[in-house]
Structure 1
Amino acid sequence: MGMLRHARWAIACTMAATTALLTAPAALAKDAGTEAGRPAGGQEVRPLAAATIAVYPPIQGASIWNRFGQTPPSSHHRVFSNWGYLNDWSVDIYQNPGATVVSPFGSKTSAGGPVTVRVVTVTPGCATGNLADGGWRIGLEARDDSTGTVVGRADVMHVDQKPASITVGATVGPWTRLGQTGRFRYSSCYQVNGNTGAHIHLEVINRTKYSCYIARGAGAGLGDETVIGRVGTLNSGPQQAC
């Protein structure tokens, strides 16, 4: 299976609903940011990455995009920030409790260069600081090793059963286990009733300019090789499709 995820960079941009199932309101989660003062067309004046990096579902195996149609990346709340800026886009990826959570970044750039992914954030995701309210937030950073350029970051939220080895500074591969999907207690940070509402809240941001997501309909099935977005792109603003 590791070989499968290693090769996925080359692939082109290719549950009875339960009640309330949205993730944490931005006002109640940690690190909520703002785009006020963000330079037009980008976050800062820096050389662009030489190539893009594909973003994949952060759940190993089958998962579901925006299962109930309430969390499209065009409008879904963005809770976290990186480098002082609110993340570019977010989406909920659904799978019942117990599914393995992995890095969403591909192992190669679009130009074929190797990608290194390291852990930059490990913290309870909800503002209460209580894991029972919504699990872990694990932040990951993707670097193009061909140029040494940091291309983007992703925040993977609502992670359960995080291994002790997942700490800030750790390097992870595409199949490194970050934890698993879980169902947490109903709270202002995790408004889910039933196992079919269990999900990972994913947020993505470019180091320079803006990343993008691949538009698809609510309830679309996803697999290990499904590209759901890209970092290193030159989009003009947040929450834009590729």
Structure 2
Amino acid sequence: MGLLRHARWAIACTVAATTALLTAPSAMAKDTGPTARTLAAATVAVYPPIQGSSLWDRFGLTPPSEHHRVFYNWGYLNDWAVDIYQNPGATVVSPFGSKTSGGSPVTVRVVTVAPGCATGNLADGGWRIGLEARDDSTGAIVGRADVMHVDQKPGSITVGATVGPWTRLGQTGRFRYSSCYQVNGNTGAHVHLEVINKTKYSCYIARAAGTGLGGETVIGRVGTLNSGPQQTC
């Protein structure tokens, strides 16, 4: 696992690198500015939250350009979302890289642990685990990610826990068919990933439906200065 971790760090070092609610207080409003697709000084890479191989938007039904976003952070709807597919039993991990694009260490901590579906029943869709990435050189919070449809969450994954890039958050699962999880077979098992910047907007890397992903495939970035939600890097 040391080689994988080293590779993931190296990739995170080389990559460059919600719409605000209308009712949000002006003091908290996200700075949208005229800098779409401009990279900030120190960004953090976003990877698939599944260890090993997985598939991006397997059936072409959930591209980030239009996929529903259901969670909020800091009072704002998350910036973009996508479904990452893998059969039940795959290890779910943090999507954040271990270092910024400038080489600074990144600390990731758990900020949310809750049933993912509105019913509150884990059988309807598993856990939602929210994670927050911090640039240790500046102390700045860069962004957050929500990983939903997590099964078999370890007892150690609690709010406030610090996790590394390969810390096991749980595994992919097959949940009962419901309005929250409309899956009929194991090939439809997936995690629902949502990402948000602390300021301005994060971005995703566009790719075709069904594209294969590896543990070190960069799928997006936080800390970017995009001008709005659901934008490509």
TM over 0.5: yes
TM-score calculated relative to the size of structure 1? 0.87
Distance, in Å, in 2 between the alignment partners of 1:49 and 1:215 is: 19
Q: Is the 8 A contact 2:20 2:30 kept in 1?
A: no
Distance, in Å, in 2 between the alignment partners of 1:168 and 1:198 is: 26
Letter in 2 for 1:129: G
Partner of 1:141: 132
1:156-171 to 2 correspondence within 5 Å? 156-171=147-162
SS of equivalent to 2:118: coil
**Number of residue-to-residue matches in the alignment:** 221
Distance, in Å, in 1 between the alignment partners of 2:159 and 2:40 is: 24
Distance, in Å, in 2 between the alignment partners of 1:140 and 1:207 is: 12
Q: Is the 8 A contact 2:19 2:228 kept in 1?
A: no
Distance, in Å, in 2 between the alignment partners of 1:235 and 1:89 is: 12
Once the two structures are TM-superposed, the CA of residue 197 in structure 1 deviates from its matched residue by: 0.1
Distance, in Å, in 2 between the alignment partners of 1:9 and 1:76 is: 29
SS of equivalent to 1:10: helix
Q: Is the 8 A contact 1:2 1:174 kept in 2?
A: no
Q: Is the 8 A contact 1:215 1:241 kept in 2?
A: yes
Letter in 1 for 2:95: P
Letter in 1 for 2:21: E
RMSD: 2.1
Q: Is the 8 A contact 2:19 2:229 kept in 1?
A: no
Once the two structures are TM-superposed, the CA of residue 3 in structure 1 deviates from its matched residue by: 3.7
Partner of 1:88: 79
After superposition, what is the alpha-carbon deviation per residue over 1:1-53, rounded to whole angstroms, capped at 9, x for unaligned? Answer: 2442343243356xxxxxxxxxxxxxxxxxx99732467xx6159xx974000
The answer to whether 1:35 aligns with 2:43 is no
Letter in 1 for 2:22: A
Segments of 5+ residues of structure 1 without an aligned counterpart are 14-31
Distance, in Å, in 1 between the alignment partners of 2:223 and 2:19 is: 21
Partner of 1:151: 142
Partner of 1:8: 8
Distance, in Å, in 1 between the alignment partners of 2:115 and 2:228 is: 29
Segments of 5+ residues of structure 2 without an aligned counterpart are 33-38
Q: Is the 8 A contact 2:197 2:223 kept in 1?
A: yes
The answer to whether 1:173 aligns with 2:164 is yes
Cα distance 1:33–1:210, how it changes in 2: closer, same or farther (>3 A)? closer
Letter in 1 for 2:144: R
Distance, in Å, in 2 between the alignment partners of 1:94 and 1:231 is: 22
The one of 217, 223, 231 aligned to 2:214: 223
The answer to whether 1:56 aligns with 2:43 is no
Question: After TM superposition, what 4+ stretches of structure 1 lie above 4 angstroms from structure 2?
Answer: none
TM-score calculated relative to the size of structure 2? 0.90
Partner of 1:195: 186
Once the two structures are TM-superposed, the CA of residue 205 in structure 1 deviates from its matched residue by: 0.1
